Amino acid sequence: MKLRRHVLAWTAAASAALALGLPTAAQAQNYKSEYRVSLVVGTAFPWGKGAEIWANKVRERTNGRINFKLYPGVSLIQGDQTREFSALRQGVIDLAVGSTINWSPQVKQLNLFSLPFLMPDYAAIDALTQGEVGKEIFKTLDKAGVVPLAWGENGYRELTNSKRPVRTPEDLKGLKIRVVGSPLFIDTFTALGANPTQMSWADAQPAFASGAVDGQENPMSIFTAAKLQNVGQKNVTMWGYVADPLIFVVNKDIWNSWTPADREIVRQAAIEAGKDEIAIARKGLAEPGQPLLKDIAALGVNIVHLTPAEREAFVKTTRPVYNKWKPQVGTDLVNMAEKAIAARKK
């Protein structure tokens, strides 16, 4: 009799917990004491700050049931950022805040954002990530075996080098430029007459310092936090040729191991952290006068602003690359993106 009462009481407690969306004792036991979040750069960068905001919100809102630990430098995969997506799918990584560029070798649709000169301004990025295109890409990621939750942003990737100011494609001739992940970058820089070389971010910084490579392309928030002016990168060209969004994702098995209520907490926290992160990434760049550039110039860096005609020369030279890659990314998806950008609110 006594035992039966206990069982009844326990069952009642468990169903009350379930009704509230709280994990029962049995479910909570399946939770790991720590979940590993992969990212390329740490909390000195907007990217890392975004992950930190996500982790803090999740820890607070789950009363510590779900603890994220950040692994910057893609250290769970020895710095090889182009393997991040596979590792995430396989469960070597539990969660990630990752750049579309680093996952594009596995998910070809993500090359969309790397098509040269597709997105002329921040409103164009938003038109894609916050609209139908963003939903389409999330469906693709879901099919590829991960759970995408929210968008963030690394940013507009500007050109830097140690040799000379670059105003024309001719100025790029022969410069050895470090590029990331996707073969699309090799095509773009080859079309521009440069000498591109693919390298991880971990390997790139010593290569700048030793002069083994002349230049690179990355958002100015990365430039400042990594202090690229100290490794010879004294020339910047503001050309805004591509921008890489970040995506907050979870491994599918991990996602399924959480209660629906906890999943919702993790998703909502990712959406909020993504919004905050985008604001941090754009700080000093999106407002008139771009104050961040004044700070960078004060460090002895020469910043080239292209006239519309000068910029057009880069657009023209890279157009064959855009056309070659459009079907590889997916003609329908690129058409959808072009339409969304044309219809954007500026």
Q: Can you tell me the distance from the alpha carbon of 91 to that of 94, in angstroms, rounded to the nearest whole number?
A: 6
Helix (H) / strand (E) element for 274: namely helix 260-282
Q: Can you tell me the distance from the alpha carbon of 289 to that of 211, in angstroms, rounded to the nearest whole number?
A: 32
Stretch that binds ligand X2X, among 94-102, 142-150, 168-176, 308-316 (CB under 6 A): 94-102
Query: What is the total count of residues that contact ligand X2X (CB under 6 A)?
Result: 12
111 contributes a contact to ligand X2X by CB under 6 A: no
Stretch that binds ligand X2X, among 97-105, 205-213, 274-282, 326-334 (CB under 6 A): 97-105
244 contributes a contact to ligand X2X by CB under 6 A: yes
Buried b or exposed e, range 220-249, using 16+ CB within 10 angstroms: bbbbbbbebbebbbbbbbbbbbbbbbbbbb
Stretch that binds ligand X2X, among 99-107, 131-139, 246-254, 280-288 (CB under 6 A): 99-107
CB-nearest residue to ligand X2X:
201
Residue 235: φ, ψ to 5°: -120, 125
Please list every residue from 273 through 332 that binds ligand X2X, using CB under 6 A.
none
Least distance to ligand X2X, CB of residue 314, Å: 19
Least distance to ligand X2X, CB of residue 96, Å: 11
Angle at 214 between CA 211 and CA 217, to 5 degrees: 130
201 contributes a contact to ligand X2X by CB under 6 A: yes
Question: Taking CB under 6 A as the rule, which mask of x and - marks residues 1-40 in contact with ligand X2X?
Answer: ---------------------------------------x
Length of the chain: 346
233 or 259: CB nearest ligand X2X = 233
Task: Report the SS3 class of residue 177.
Answer: strand
- Among 38, 62, 82, 102, which residue interacts with ligand X2X (rule: CB under 6 A)? 102
Least distance to ligand X2X, CB of residue 41, Å: 6
122 contributes a contact to ligand X2X by CB under 6 A: no
Residue 267 · residue 150 · CB < 8 Å: yes
249 contributes a contact to ligand X2X by CB under 6 A: no
- Among 62, 99, 114, 235, which residue interacts with ligand X2X (rule: CB under 6 A)? 99
62 or 197: CB nearest ligand X2X = 197
Q: Token pair of 200, please?
A: 């991880």
Angle at 24 between CA 22 and CA 25, to 5 degrees: 135
Buried b or exposed e, range 113-139, using 16+ CB within 10 angstroms: bbbbbbbeebebbbbbbebebbebbbe
154 contributes a contact to ligand X2X by CB under 6 A: yes
228 contributes a contact to ligand X2X by CB under 6 A: no
Cβ count within 10 A of residue 258: 21
Least distance to ligand X2X, CB of residue 5, Å: 58
Residue 163 · residue 157 · CB < 8 Å: no
110 contributes a contact to ligand X2X by CB under 6 A: no
Residue 108 · residue 143 · CB < 8 Å: no
66 or 177: CB nearest ligand X2X = 177
Cα separation of the two ends of the chain: 72
Buried b or exposed e, range 282-295, using 16+ CB within 10 angstroms: bebbeeeebebbee
Please list every residue from 33 through 62 that binds ligand X2X, using CB under 6 A.
40-41
Task: Report the SS3 class of residue 117.
Answer: coil
101 contributes a contact to ligand X2X by CB under 6 A: yes
156 or 314: CB nearest ligand X2X = 156
- Among 218, 233, 259, 317, which residue interacts with ligand X2X (rule: CB under 6 A)? 218
**Binding residues vs ligand X2X (CB under 6 A):** 40-41, 81, 99, 101-102, 154, 180, 201, 218, 222, 244
